[in-house]
Structure 1
């Protein structure tokens, strides 16, 4: 009979506290904006004294770093799942990719801002926190190759077109779909330029 593996309960408690701190930081960011996250506010929310936070995170930017890594890890997991079920037609697949990114972004604007904008002066994600975003780009490139898009400049253009529409939507009509409705047209323009096969996504009537 084999002995049960030893559990490092102290490490488990420490990790649970770190998650609680990050969750509190997200709650503040979603309520008041990313810039409103402070060590004092986070500590008060979880019933901890501010100096005690330093035994878990050595600075506010370290908390942002954990938030950044968590957000991209979540998006990577969702993307890996969604990309397995993409439509066969390249245009429909491209539309599904960008719609997934839209849905993920608009459901949590603070998370989107931390992931994709330089919204925190002086904050640069660590290599470990940045790694999931690199994996997302690698996944995109492999998926695009499968769809017949092999030029890195074309991938860049696709990201700029989709991201630009999303920025307009969030800046000018949060919660609406004015720019979201342009996606089929933009995907068609992109696909036409690359001579991708398939019927147009937008109505021709």
Structure 2
């Protein structure tokens, strides 16, 4: 009988504490905004003294960095699990709708990932890596759908991002701009020469 591998219980406890700190930071950000995340507030929420946090994160920006990496990793995992329709236009719409849903359900997360909302915060290479993988996966999907030009992928992201910004800024919780997605995807698909049928006519 083989012996069970040794567990590093100290490392496990340390990682669990780091997750608890990051979860507390998200709770504060969702309740009071990203700028409200402070070492003191996070420590108070988890019953830890502020100086003790420094053994896990050496600054507030280090906490933001962990949040950034965690959130992009979650989005990447969701993208990998997404079962896209075979029709190119339907697939593009599914990608856009997933991005909208991920963003609208957690505005603080969207702000951290897609806006320069924290002065002086620049994500580390490790935290930024999942977002690079997201773009790589998007490019692979676009290649498969028949849209190999990276400038076209940039345009798609800009169109979706613009609609999303308008939705969040002007009607949070509503769907005024979300309802425009089929129309915008059709316009994009017509521009890059993707076959139909039109999304607008099928909805």
Give me the TM-score of the superposition, normalised by structure 1: 0.97
C-alpha deviation, 1:204, in angstroms: 8.4
> Which whole-Å CA distance do the structure 2 matches of 1:13 and 1:101 have between them?
34
3-state DSSP class of the match of 1:20?
helix
C-alpha deviation, 1:203, in angstroms: 3.1
> Which whole-Å CA distance do the structure 2 matches of 1:100 and 1:59 have between them?
33
C-alpha deviation, 1:195, in angstroms: 1.2
> Which whole-Å CA distance do the structure 2 matches of 1:115 and 1:163 have between them?
12
C-alpha deviation, 1:194, in angstroms: 1.0
Q: What does residue 42 of structure 1 align with?
A: 42
3-state DSSP class of the match of 2:48?
coil
Q: What does residue 198 of structure 1 align with?
A: 196
> Which whole-Å CA distance do the structure 2 matches of 1:187 and 1:101 have between them?
14
> Which whole-Å CA distance do the structure 2 matches of 1:17 and 1:87 have between them?
40
The correspondence for 2:87, drawn from 86, 89, 103, is 89
> Which whole-Å CA distance do the structure 2 matches of 1:43 and 1:193 have between them?
52
Q: Does 1:62 align with 2:28?
A: no
Q: What does residue 188 of structure 1 align with?
A: 186
Q: How many residue pairs are counted as aligned between the two chains?
A: 203
Q: What does residue 79 of structure 2 align with?
A: 79
> Which whole-Å CA distance do the structure 2 matches of 1:87 and 1:27 have between them?
35
Give me the TM-score of the superposition, normalised by structure 2: 0.98
> Which whole-Å CA distance do the structure 2 matches of 1:3 and 1:191 have between them?
58
- Cα 1:20/1:204, change in 2 over 3 Å: closer
> Which whole-Å CA distance do the structure 2 matches of 1:5 and 1:152 have between them?
46
> Which whole-Å CA distance do the structure 2 matches of 1:38 and 1:204 have between them?
49
> Which whole-Å CA distance do the structure 1 matches of 2:32 and 2:54 have between them?
23
> Which whole-Å CA distance do the structure 1 matches of 2:192 and 2:51 have between them?
56
3-state DSSP class of the match of 2:102?
helix
> Which whole-Å CA distance do the structure 1 matches of 2:128 and 2:163 have between them?
24
> Which whole-Å CA distance do the structure 2 matches of 1:5 and 1:194 have between them?
54
**Structure 2 residues not aligned, in runs of 5+:** none
> Which whole-Å CA distance do the structure 2 matches of 1:203 and 1:150 have between them?
26
> Which whole-Å CA distance do the structure 1 matches of 2:114 and 2:19 have between them?
22
**Structure 1 residues not aligned, in runs of 5+:** none
RMSD across aligned positions (CA) = 1.1
Q: What does residue 51 of structure 2 align with?
A: 51
Q: What does residue 177 of structure 2 align with?
A: 179
Q: What does residue 15 of structure 1 align with?
A: 15
Q: Does 1:132 align with 2:130?
A: yes
- Structure 1: which 4+ aligned runs deviate by more than 6 Å? none
